[in-house]
Amino acid sequence: MEESQAAALAGLAPMTQQSGKWSGRSAVRSGRAVLRQALYMPALVAMRFNPDLKRVYGPPHHGRKTR
């Protein structure tokens, strides 16, 4: 299974709504809710404890003094 197929299966791939000349916004929808729910908690734990992810997704440190 390729990455794009896995993302679509989990409902994490953005799907663009288009009809004729009208082009809507991309939205994440459909997919398997059970799989999305199973990925949610490990993602939160990774964002909390992985230093690389913590730097990207952690709280902003604009103008705060370091201890």
- Residue 31, CA distances (Å) to 19, 45, 55 in order: 22, 23, 29
Give the pLDDT band (50/70/90) at residue 45.
very high
pLDDT in tens, 10-40: 777 777 766 767 666 666 667 788 888 888 8
Could you tell me which of 61, 10, 62 has the C-alpha nearest to residue 36?
10
Chain-centre distance for alpha carbon 62? 24
Give the pLDDT score at 62.
67
The better pLDDT of the pair 44, 8 is held by: 44
Q: Average the pLDDT over 45-50 and give the result.
A: 91
What letter represents residue 40's amino acid? Answer: Y
Give the pLDDT score at 49.
92
User: Is the Cβ–Cβ distance between 59 and 47 less than 8 Å?
Assistant: no
